[in-house]
Amino acid sequence: MTGLICKGWTAVLFFCAVVAAVGSGQTMASECKMEGSDAMHWLAKMSRGSHRVDYHGVVTFQRGDDMQVMQISHAITNGSSTEQMTQLTGQGAQIVRQNHPLECVHPGHHLLRADGETSAGGCGITDHYRLQVDAGERIAGRKAMRIRVDPLDMYRYGYIMDLDKETGLLLKVQTIGRGNKVLERFQFASLSLGTNSKAAANPELVHKATHPVVTESSAVAVPASRWAIQWLPGGFTATDSQQGAHSRRTYTDGLAVFSVFLERLPKKIKAGEGVARHGGTTSYTRGMRLKGKPVLVTVIGEVPLNTARMVADSLSWTY
């Protein structure tokens, strides 16, 4: 297990648990498929580009009939990035992440940057998705490359990603569900490279994005060591070290992310399950008894219902 300390992030020291995979020393490069290597190269460029390029612009985010418009900016100073997203529609909130060190690379981006074999001995993204590079259309006035990302199993969604030819920036991404249905769509409407001279629109509220491992869930805390997920779809890895008392776990395969929340209930509840969906997000809630104790398990993420259900189903106490 390798760890990396992300220093200088606001006033607090955070332990940035990077790469949960164990470096087993296995070499499987020769067995990794070559067909997706060009696309893999683009995904790595996208991941680096999104962190190392100064840009600002306007993006749209669409889910069904609902469309939001946001202003986005990203700037690098002294080896760390500052990013900002201001909603121009709806609530008008602003999300800010300041002084995030460039060397603080989170597990999702590690998976995207793994060219060829990963430290865990697999082939990374290409074990679970079929990648294909196509000519892209013009987006926000920029020439784009298109990458089709098709899942190899039914535990995850597909994507159509358009990347900026020059910088690798993600200009547009469509999340594709069953039957080629577009579940949500994110896209730049305008993009300028370089730093933003204009101040963002007046936000109603400013939220500083958090960084692991310090977030506290509002739910009744359950020490992490006392529960475990027994099953994960292939390729998913934990996003943080999850030390200390935690009632949440988050997992990613580099493209999709889901979180599991566990609540201990004070009294018994009728066992059952319920689902809510919005765009590409599934919220699956399950009331059950674990070793006689009533709990509520919720899986929220951009994964199909079956995946969320299987994960909830595999939860168990470990003590």
Partner 1 sequence: MTERIRESLSATMDGEADELELERVLSKIGDDTELRRTWVRYHSIRSIASGQSVDEETFPDVSQRVREALAAEVRPAAAGSLQRVLKPLASFAVAASVAATVVIGGQQLAQINEGGEPREAVASAVVGVGSPVGLINSTGATPVRASYGNQAVPVLEPAARTAYRELARQRMHKYMQEHAEHAALNAPHGLIPFARVRQIEE
Q: Which residue, among 245, 252, 205, has the nearest Cα to 96 in the 3D structure?
A: 205
| Token representation of residue 148 | 């089709």
Check residue 257 for interaction with partner 1 (CB under 8 A): yes
Residues recorded for the chain: 319
Check residue 47 for interaction with partner 1 (CB under 8 A): yes
Which position among 39, 56, 83, 303 is part of the footprint of partner 1 (CB under 8 A)?
83
x/- site string to partner 1, residues 148 to 187, per CB under 8 A?
A: ----xxxx-----x--------x--x------------x-
Is the CB of residue 86 less than 8 Å from the CB of residue 69?
no
Site for partner 1, residues 15 to 44, rule: CB under 8 A: 43
Q: Which residue, among 286, 287, 290, 291, has the nearest Cα to 308 in the 3D structure?
A: 286
Q: How far is the CB of 219 from partner 1 (least distance, A)?
A: 8
Q: Which residue, among 95, 105, 100, 101, has the nearest Cα to 61 in the 3D structure?
A: 95
The SS3 assignment for 282 reads strand
Site for partner 1, residues 220 to 239, rule: CB under 8 A: 228-237, 239
Check residue 275 for interaction with partner 1 (CB under 8 A): yes
| Token representation of residue 62 | 């669409």
Query: Under rule CB under 8 A, how many of the chain's residues touch partner 1?
Result: 98
Which position among 40, 72, 131, 160 is part of the footprint of partner 1 (CB under 8 A)?
72
Angle at 201 between CA 198 and CA 202, to 5 degrees: 125
> Distance between alpha carbon 147 and the CA centroid of its chain, in Å?
18
Check residue 269 for interaction with partner 1 (CB under 8 A): yes
Which position among 137, 189, 276, 293 is part of the footprint of partner 1 (CB under 8 A)?
276
Report the distance separating Cα 4 and Cα 271, nearest Å: 42
Which position among 114, 136, 212, 303 is part of the footprint of partner 1 (CB under 8 A)?
212
For the CA atoms of the chain, what is the radius of gyration?
20
In this complex, which beta carbon is closest to partner 1, that of residue 116 or of residue 177?
Answer: 177
Strands (E) across 234-271 are located at: 237-238, 248-252, 257-264
**Stretch of residues binding partner 1 (CB under 8 A), selected from 29-37, 131-139, 194-202, 297-305:** 297-305
**Stretch of residues binding partner 1 (CB under 8 A), selected from 34-42, 88-96, 135-143, 191-199:** 88-96
Which position among 7, 33, 268, 293 is part of the footprint of partner 1 (CB under 8 A)?
268
